[in-house]
Structure 1
Amino acid sequence: MLGNKNTVSSVSTDMMTKQRRYEALVKALHADVFRYAVWLIKDRSIAEDVVQETFLRAWKSLDSLQDEGAAKSWLITILRRENARRFERKQFDLVDIDDVSVADPVASSDGNVENRDLRRAIASLSDEYREPLVMQVIMGFSGDEIAEQLNLNKNTVMTRLFRARSQIKEIMTKDNDFGVQLNG
């Protein structure tokens, strides 16, 4: 009988430890993970669902997280996989393009033209340049972490970041000069 009490007590202690560890993880990283999800998915309500699924999977496999310093990368990987799962068996509804009116998704409600132009410039980048840039600027990932997340060589990531910034600078310069590009 005494052996059973010790086992129950040990399991209870392990569960409490896991619960505290999980709560600390959520508290520290939920905002960053959600911000990345909104950027990636571009729909706040779907992003909320995907983040919830991400943290549910994180709870289930929390014991596999050995390095707390890698928690952010680990969660982003889970989030990217959860987002990919949304499309595995999804059948998209087709809509006649003539029946659709499209609002400007980057127009800011506060009228900040420069911010709107910057968002538009970032949105105009191809995914290969936009994703590493957002991961660095919004998520705060280093070049090594981005390389690991995207399964790329670090030099490739650094080149893409450089090109992304160069393209944004070029777009912003053209916009500021009313279509006249500066030489040099």
Structure 2
Amino acid sequence: MITSVLPVPNRRSDPKASADDSITAWALAARGGDADAVERFVHALHRDVLRYVMHLCGDPQTADDLAQDTFLRALGSLHRFEGRSSARAWLLSIARRAVIDNYRYNAARPRLADVPDWQIAVEYAQPKDLPGFDDGVALLDLVASLPDERREAFVLTQMVGLPYAEAAEISDCPIGTVRSRVARARATLMDLLDTTEEPSVLAAA
């Protein structure tokens, strides 16, 4: 009997990978009509989708609608999902297309208010009595100041927690570009943190 000399990856040692495996399994089960799997799939990824959509659309008033649209599109397309990538990456790709379609639809319509303040919506979505909440909001303000492409790469990899390869797939760019954008985003944030007068914000980072 010949055994492999390569170590077998231990998925249990990586909670994020294990969670993604479970979510992908629920998506595949939901494709077969399992109602409980549909509920688990939606519940597991709703926060990530909402946070990502808030970041992309820059308008908290439409973020909930776009998140709902994302899940409606995903549930209608589950029959085409084969699990070749994680369900999380697949769903965030759909979210990105939903935001782009919304931009195109509203391109000719004037905005009623200039409120590109997605971080406020994130604040409303979080429990307000948790320790460090104010520091977290301050950090969101710093992230919001990043250039769009760097902010997207940073949010996907550092806040949502996607691997660089999946972030590159969602952003439709090479993985090296994502790594470069994240590195530059980190450098910018460190410069901003160095100038902050709030030591607690620096510690939270």
TM over 0.5: yes
> Where does the alignment leave 5 or more consecutive residues of structure 2 unmatched?
1-28, 199-205
Number of residues paired by the alignment? 160
State the Cα distance separating 1:103 from its structure 2 match. Answer: 10
Among candidates 132, 147, 151, match of residue 172 of structure 2: 151
Query: Which stretch of structure 1 is more off in the superposition, 149-158 or 107-116?
Result: 107-116
1:17 aligns with 2:17: no
CA distance in 1, matches of 2:115, 2:195: 25
In angstroms, what is the RMSD of aligned CA positions? 3.3
1:1-184 matches, cutoff 5 A: 17-20=32-35, 21-67=37-83, 70-90=86-106, 91-93=108-110, 114-176=135-197
Judged with a 3 Å threshold, the aligned counterparts in structure 2 of structure 1 residues 48 and 158 are, in CA distance, closer, same or farther, namely same
Q: Over residues 148-180 of structure 1, what are the superposed CA-to-partner deviations in whole Å (9 max), with x where a residue is unaligned?
A: 111221122111111100110001112349xxx
CA distance in 1, matches of 2:116, 2:96: 27
State the Cα distance separating 1:43 from its structure 2 match. Answer: 3.3
Judged with a 3 Å threshold, the aligned counterparts in structure 2 of structure 1 residues 51 and 165 are, in CA distance, closer, same or farther, namely same
Q: Tell whether the 8 Å contact from 1:54 to 1:78 is kept in structure 2 after alignment.
A: yes
Q: Which position in structure 2 is the counterpart of 1:5?
A: none
CA distance in 2, matches of 1:66, 1:42: 32
Judged with a 3 Å threshold, the aligned counterparts in structure 2 of structure 1 residues 148 and 113 are, in CA distance, closer, same or farther, namely same
Higher relative contact order (CA 8 A, sep 6+): 2
Q: Over residues 109-132 of structure 1, what are the superposed CA-to-partner deviations in whole Å (9 max), with x where a residue is unaligned?
A: 979764444223211110121110
CA distance in 2, matches of 1:94, 1:114: 31
Q: Which position in structure 1 is the counterpart of 2:19?
A: none
> Where does the alignment leave 5 or more consecutive residues of structure 1 unmatched?
1-13, 178-184
